[in-house]
Amino acid sequence: MVWSTIYCSNIQNQNTQIGQMETDPRRIHADVIKRNAFNISEYRFHLNNLINHYFKSNLVADAINVFHQIPSPNVVSWTSLISGHSNTLPALTHFISMLRHPTLPNQRTLAIVLKTCASLSSLSFGVQLHSLCIKLSLASEPYSGSALIHFYSKTKLPNSARKVFDEMPQRDAVCFSSVIVGLAQNSKPIDALCYFSEMLASGFGSTVYSVSAALRACAELAGLEQCSMVHAHAVVTGLDLNVIVGTALVDGYGKCGMVNEARLVFDEHPSVMNLIGWNAMMSSYAQQGDKDSVLELFSMMELHGLVPDGYSFLSVMTAFCNAGLADETYEWFKKMELEYKFEPWIEHYTCLVDALGRSGRLNEAKEIALTMKKYSPDAAMWRALLSTSAHHANIELTREMSLRLQELDPQDDSAYVIAANAFSGVGKMDEVQVLRNLMRERRVKKEGGLSWIEHHGQVHVFLAGDRQHEKTEEIYLKLSELKEKVLKLGYVPVLDEMLHEVGQGEKKEALWYHSERLALAYGLVADVAPRGKALRIVKNLRICKDCHEAFKYISRVVEREIIVRDVNRYHRFSNGGCNCGDYW
């Protein structure tokens, strides 16, 4: 083994001499051949190393040849071969050959193959690997356990990932990071934040990945208090200086509607912020319809030498769309194609169709949807056309878009509900009943309207007409007071559509108890935000016309800014108006 030390030393000297370039593995191979006075175990050790060197140099055929020269391949030999083919089908083939050899895998082998299954979306193979892990008593080990969590997360089975984690008797920081990232990526933000809190309470240090995942969860919840706490933790640990965490902070504050805070974080990282960070900042402004700030950032980004990508253009188009500027949205779409030579994604087409549809140019929007290059309209595009057609009371096009969306996704509740709202608005109750019957036959359930508001790190969730909250009496009393005051200011209920949250026969009284109003009343009763600070509410659906109108009046009554993030954009109500200009 003395030669092994000399061998490694020689490699280090060679690397020093040629700078950062790696030593040619063929030279190392020649040395191994020359020094043939090794026993089988030592010879196999050097060949195993050679396999890795050849793969790193992209000399795949040579790596395989070396593997076949090994007298008795052990688990390290097979793992090296499988690792070289990671994320490709040959890795699975070699793994099966290894089992037939027979050689039992270790944690590293299983982790590589599980990663490959995740990359190839091979659920059945991965589940069989999980079974093998259990048989070999490796499923609860940190290394293979983390790989299982990653696999189930990537295959969109977050509950299975969480089950693997919960069954691990001993966990480390990597295991915690894996489950936090997996849950955040699979829209389980509350669970992700719970595990993040448990990780810190257990004494494990956070990583760039766990912190950025926690911030992603905060962004999905629009949880400003949680975002601020994770930010403080990142500052204490020094992770806030990392570009990944910095980008997640920008995105987190932006999706909480706090664009000024997002910009402060962004301005702290101008020299290290990558394209993803610039896009996150532009997207934050775009959701507010702040086209000027988006264009300013777009120009600054180019001055910094960054080349805009699809997300950059999407932010610009979204900003103009949210500002109600269809012509400018179209102009940037063409500019992206002609000046920047960037081929549009279907998301760009959908944004353009939405912008044109909102402005009433429905036939033009439909023509673009039907003549896209490379793409066929997806559910998002038909949904955008359906929504804008219903908004402009174009019943024929609404009917057509509803049918197209039903054909593409029969379980999409919006295909029925939006059309029913439009039909109800023009008195076509027979067609409303047809849609209701279809929903019943196909067992389609309407997505329930939810709104939530954060207070002292706790999220308070409300349904329409909800009476489950501990402060229900105070909430409803506050709503009565607000109603009396806004009626005196001239508020008139908007009853031209049948809303998501309630069924047929909705009365004016029921309008006043929609989920976002209950959340607002709780915010006022509990004094969620100090005087001078905005009240922030999140809603899982589009805010209805009547609530939108009511909130404008309420903002005058309470003399407070009210921010509502709905499924489409941010609404900032202040002094009787909204930054969306009644266009959303």
pLDDT digits (tens, 9 = 90+) for 123-149: 999 999 999 999 999 998 888 999 999
Measured between alpha carbons, how far is 227 from 380 in angstroms, rounded to an integer? 29
Measured between alpha carbons, how far is 392 from 360 in angstroms, rounded to an integer? 7
What pLDDT shows up at residue 508? 58
Quick one: tokens of 353? 């169709």
Give me the mean pLDDT over the 482-499 stretch: 79
| Upstream peptide bond of 73 is cis (omega within 30 degrees of 0) | no
Q: How many CA atoms lie within 13 A of 398 on its CB side?
A: 26
Cα dihedral 185, 190, 191, 193 in deg (nearest 10): 90
Domain ranges of the chain: 469-578
H/E element, 460: strand 458-463
φ, ψ dihedrals at 123, nearest 5°: -65, -45
2-16, 385-399, 435-449: lowest mean pLDDT where? 2-16
The answer to whether residues 179 and 161 touch, using CB atoms and an 8 Å cutoff, is: yes
Q: How far is CA 518 from CA 382, 448, 534, in A?
A: 32, 15, 16
Quick one: tokens of 381? 């595009």
Give me the mean pLDDT over the 61-77 stretch: 91
Nearest to 385 by CA among 414, 409, 410: 414
Q: Over 285-340, what HEC string results?
A: HHHCCCHHHHHHHHHHHHHCCCCCCHHHHHHHHHHHHHCCCHHHHHHHHHHHHHCC
Give me the mean pLDDT over the 469-487 stretch: 94
Q: Are strands 458-463 and 562-565 parallel, antiparallel or unpaired?
A: unpaired
**Going edge to edge, which strands form the sheet with 570-574?**
458-463, 450-455, 535-539, 562-565, 570-574, 577-578
497 band by pLDDT with thresholds 50, 70 and 90: very low
Measured between alpha carbons, how far is 278 from 254 in angstroms, rounded to an integer? 12
pLDDT exceeds 60 at position 16: no
Q: What is the percentage of the chain residues whose pLDDT exceeds 90?
A: 71
pLDDT exceeds 90 at position 31: no
The answer to whether residues 450 and 564 touch, using CB atoms and an 8 Å cutoff, is: no
Give me the mean pLDDT over the 179-202 stretch: 95
Measured between alpha carbons, how far is 440 from 232 in angstroms, rounded to an integer? 49
Give me the mean pLDDT over the 6-31 stretch: 51
What pLDDT shows up at residue 270? 67
Quick one: tokens of 448? 């329930």
Nearest to 551 by CA among 531, 528, 578: 578
pLDDT exceeds 50 at position 571: yes
The answer to whether residues 195 and 184 touch, using CB atoms and an 8 Å cutoff, is: no
pLDDT digits 0-9 by tens, 222-272: 888 899 999 999 999 999 989 999 999 999 999 998 999 999 999 987 667
Quote the Cα angle for 573-531-463, to 5°.
55
The residues with which 451 forms a beta bridge, in sequence order, are 462, 539
What pLDDT shows up at residue 37? 56
What pLDDT shows up at residue 420? 92
pLDDT exceeds 70 at position 504: no
Q: Are strands 570-574 and 535-539 parallel, antiparallel or unpaired?
A: unpaired
Q: Whose structure tokens read 């944004």?
A: 351
Measured between alpha carbons, how far is 229 from 238 in angstroms, rounded to an integer? 14
pLDDT exceeds 60 at position 502: no
Q: How many angstroms from the chain centroid is the CA of residue 299?
A: 26
Q: How many angstroms from the chain centroid is the CA of residue 246?
A: 17
Q: How many angstroms from the chain centroid is the CA of residue 48?
A: 40
